[in-house]
């Protein structure tokens, strides 16, 4: 509420970094006032030292307000009280001051860098002019030295008379030299004129370029303002051109598998599922650097390094398990407001894809202790397809790579790198041979376009089933078995047995129980399953139910194993009626599915277990040697209390007549 009030009071301000307002101030839609504000103008009149002192005072005041709020809450004050809200309001004001001081500091830093850059440019221009002058002086000195070294052919008249032929030759050489120098002088004059003309032409072209640059730079703020103003329209029309253009530019640097996943997910989201959104994250500059060949100097430097054997193996492991700098995030929204975030990575040297999962819910889900593993990112997507646990790499070539660097199992790194599920490889277009022929067929089929749709449906169903179980566990831990109105007809109105306890167990604790050995021996209790203990009580009778919950619930129903403590100990392996009760919840589960997709199956099974315990206790024959009233009065109407040589009890409830009969 406080943030909404701040948003309402916050006026719309247009900031201009150049210090001059661009655009016209007027009235927009809704008669909203627009004021132009420039922080650079304010920056000229502010002292950095005073801003620093204000920063320290603001931080001290903010820390004091936080301590006051903590003390108020420790003394019993609620979030909505006036004192806490006032403190929060003051804290927000201080946060705004800190943001403004931060902007001013960045602007000072930018201004200093610009001034330094301008100074460097002036020094570079002067240095270039000096080099040109030095080169010209050196050239003139060479010409002067050539002229001084030239030998004259002048002779005396007496010499000319004595050696006429030699003098004639000297005159010819002198004329040739004079004509050569005159021609060179003429060429120099022409080159000087051409140089002046080129300089004037260059200045004109340079001025034209500067004018065009100024025009283009003046257009840039206007274009940015237009793009910013069009963002609400793009969002309203569901046409994010700017975001799509940015994503397309980054997508050029994705590895092939992530690019295939991006294209397929985007196409599926546009055509079939508007709640699916795709985004790219990561370091684009690092991804660009991967496509550049390494420099020779770096390679030579790397060769000269001689690390120890252990450090060298660690470096090789890290290099082998290195992920691509860019990753792909798929956000799958559900109807209840929850969002499944899938972070997809590509391991470059192993040529496999991995995924990490995270669920964001609209409400706080911290009430159930036994539901701690339901939304755990490490086990959330286990066995999305049958037997796909995502612990080992699907690429057979990785086994030989692991042997070289001493990696025993990829499962030791899934917490950091993600799970290499088979369906993730298929979505990225990766296909590997497998030992099992049926898996090869499945992978080949999964590369079709329909696999994307089926996987998205399974992912959404997994999140919805886990959220439904989370709500049910909250009720079960409070000894309440929730039964919806659609399933009320499956149970009698009066049920006296009650759920006394609902707790979670580990796989080892489940296998250590004596009455669950047959389940473990049959291979129906795996480490990927979830295990729970339900205790149902009535009077002196105490029924224990060990529950195996498969990750693919409700497609695969929970499995119950029973042990009753009343007049001794018995279990489904030793008592025919307890075996019949197990059949009621395990075999005849189709009656308990409830509305599709069957998320209420578990609680309906627990409710039927309570009903069956009532029938078991109420139909038990009283020992004649025991005096006194019966411990459990017959509240249920049964056509026959027992039947057959096994003396089976009537556990089937008939609606709407309301009586119990045998199967």
Report CA 162 to chain centroid distance, whole Å.
105
The tens digit of pLDDT for each residue in 441-500 reads 344 334 546 678 889 999 999 999 999 999 999 899 999 999 989 999 999 999 999 999
Range of the domain at 636: 479-622+630-661
Q: Do residues 576 and 646 make contact, with C-beta atoms less than 8 angstroms apart?
A: yes
The tens digit of pLDDT for each residue in 578-625 reads 999 999 999 998 889 888 889 999 999 999 999 999 999 998 876 545
Give Cβ neighbours of residue 443 (< 8 Å, ≥ 6 apart): 422, 425, 426, 431, 432, 434
Decide if 42 is inside a domain. Answer: no
Report CA 492 to chain centroid distance, whole Å.
48
How would you list the strands of the sheet with 637-638, edge to edge?
637-638, 659-661, 652-654
Decide if 104 is inside a domain. Answer: no
Report CA 468 to chain centroid distance, whole Å.
24
> Could you tell me the pTM of the whole model?
0.60
Decide if 192 is inside a domain. Answer: no
Decide if 213 is inside a domain. Answer: no
The tens digit of pLDDT for each residue in 184-217 reads 677 778 888 889 899 999 999 999 999 888 888 8
Q: What percentage of the chain carries pLDDT values higher than 90? A: 48
Decide if 180 is inside a domain. Answer: no
Please indicate, yes or no, whether residues 415 and 509 belong to a single structural domain of this protein. Answer: no
CA distance 640 to 648: 10
Task: Tally the residues of the chain.
Answer: 663
Decide if 4 is inside a domain. Answer: no
Please indicate, yes or no, whether residues 508 and 455 belong to a single structural domain of this protein. Answer: no
pLDDT of residue 172 exceeding 90: no
Please indicate, yes or no, whether residues 353 and 387 belong to a single structural domain of this protein. Answer: yes
Please indicate, yes or no, whether residues 537 and 644 belong to a single structural domain of this protein. Answer: yes
pLDDT of residue 240: 62
pLDDT of residue 336: 83
Give strand pairing partners of 326: 282
Please indicate, yes or no, whether residues 491 and 402 belong to a single structural domain of this protein. Answer: no
Decide if 375 is inside a domain. Answer: yes
Please indicate, yes or no, whether residues 419 and 540 belong to a single structural domain of this protein. Answer: no
pLDDT of residue 30 exceeding 50: no
- ∠ CA(357), CA(360), CA(365), 5° rounding? 115
Decide if 655 is inside a domain. Answer: yes
CA distance 261 to 272: 16
The number of distinct structural domains making up the chain is: 2
Please indicate, yes or no, whether residues 460 and 484 belong to a single structural domain of this protein. Answer: no
Please indicate, yes or no, whether residues 506 and 361 belong to a single structural domain of this protein. Answer: no
Please indicate, yes or no, whether residues 519 and 373 belong to a single structural domain of this protein. Answer: no
Please indicate, yes or no, whether residues 455 and 528 belong to a single structural domain of this protein. Answer: no
The tens digit of pLDDT for each residue in 297-319 reads 444 444 445 554 567 778 888 99
Please indicate, yes or no, whether residues 282 and 402 belong to a single structural domain of this protein. Answer: yes
Please indicate, yes or no, whether residues 257 and 353 belong to a single structural domain of this protein. Answer: yes
């Amino acid at each position: 509420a406080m943030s909404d009030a701040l948003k309402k009071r916050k006026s719309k301000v247009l900031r201009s970094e150049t210090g001059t307002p661009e655009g016209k101030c007027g009235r927009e839609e809704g008669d909203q006032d627009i004021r132009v504000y420039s922080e650079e103008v304010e920056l000229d009149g502010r002292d950095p030292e005073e801003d620093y002192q204000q920063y320290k005072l603001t931080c001290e005041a903010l820390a004091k307000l936080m301590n006051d709020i903590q003390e108020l809450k420790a003394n019993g004050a609620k979030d909505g009280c006036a004192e806490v809200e006032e403190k929060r309001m003051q804290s927000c004001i201080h946060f705004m001051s800190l943001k403004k001081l931060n902007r001013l500091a960045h602007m000072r830093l930018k201004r200093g860098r610009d001034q330094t850059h301008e100074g460097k440019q002036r020094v570079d221009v002067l240095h270039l002019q000096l080099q040109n002058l030095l080169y010209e002086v050196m050239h003139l000195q060479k010409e002067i030295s050539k002229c001084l070294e030239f030998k004259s052919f002048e002779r005396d008249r007496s010499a000319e008379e004595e050696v006429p032929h030699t003098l004639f030759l000297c005159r010819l050489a002198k004329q040739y030299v004079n004509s050569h120098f005159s021609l060179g002088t003429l060429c120099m004059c022409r080159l000087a004129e051409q140089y002046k003309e080129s300089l004037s032409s260059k200045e004109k072209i340079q001025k034209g370029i500067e004018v065009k640059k100024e025009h283009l730079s003046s257009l840039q703020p206007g274009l940015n303002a237009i793009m910013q103003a069009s963002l609400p329209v793009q969002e309203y029309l569901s046409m994010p051109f700017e975001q799509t253009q940015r994503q397309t530019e980054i997508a050029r640097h994705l590895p092939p598998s992530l690019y295939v996943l991006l294209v397929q997910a985007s196409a599926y989201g546009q055509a079939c599922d508007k709640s699916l959104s795709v985004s790219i994250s990561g370091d684009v500059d690092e991804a660009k650097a991967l496509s550049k060949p390494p420099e020779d100097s770096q390679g030579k430097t790397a060769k000269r390094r001689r690390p120890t054997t252990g450090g060298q193996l660690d470096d090789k492991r890290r290099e082998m398990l290195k992920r691509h700098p860019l990753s792909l995030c798929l956000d799958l929204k559900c109807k209840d407001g929850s969002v499944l975030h899938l972070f997809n990575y590509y391991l470059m040297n192993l040529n496999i894809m991995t995924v990490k999962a995270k669920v964001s819910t609209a409400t706080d889900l911290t009430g159930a202790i036994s539901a701690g593993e339901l939304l755990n990112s490490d086990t959330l997507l286990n066995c999305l397809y049958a037997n796909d646990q995502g612990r080992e790499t699907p690429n057979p070539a990785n086994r030989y790579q692991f042997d070289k660097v001493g990696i025993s199992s990829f499962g030791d790194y899934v917490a950091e790198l993600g799970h290499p599920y088979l369906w993730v490889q298929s979505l990225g277009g990766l296909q590997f041979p497998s030992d099992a022929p049926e898996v090869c067929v499945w992978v080949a089929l999964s590369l079709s376009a329909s696999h994307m749709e089926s996987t998205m449906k399974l992912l959404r169903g997994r999140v919805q089933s886990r959220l439904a179980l989370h709500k049910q566990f909250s009720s079960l831990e409070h000894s309440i078995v929730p039964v919806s109105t659609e399933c009320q007809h499956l149970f009698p109105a009066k049920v006296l047995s009650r759920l006394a306890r609902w707790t979670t167990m580990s796989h080892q604790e489940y296998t250590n129980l004596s009455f669950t050995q047959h389940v473990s021996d049959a291979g129906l209790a795996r480490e990927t399953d979830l295990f729970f203990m339900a205790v149902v009580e009535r009077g002196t009778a105490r029924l224990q139910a060990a529950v195996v919950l498969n990750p693919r619930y409700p497609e695969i129903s929970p499995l119950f194993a029973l042990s009753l403590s009343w007049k001794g100990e018995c279990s489904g392996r030793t008592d025919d009626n307890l075996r019949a009760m197990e059949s009621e919840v395990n075999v005849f589960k189709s009656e308990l599915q409830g509305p599709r997709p069957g998320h209420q199956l578990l609680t309906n099974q627990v409710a039927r277990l309570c009903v069956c315990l009532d029938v078991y206790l109420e139909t038990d024959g009283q020992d004649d040697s025991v005096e006194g009233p019966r411990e459990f009065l017959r509240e249920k109407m049964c056509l026959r209390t027992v039947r057959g040589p096994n003396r089976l009890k009537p556990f089937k409830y008939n609606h709407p007549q309301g009586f119990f009969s045998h199967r």
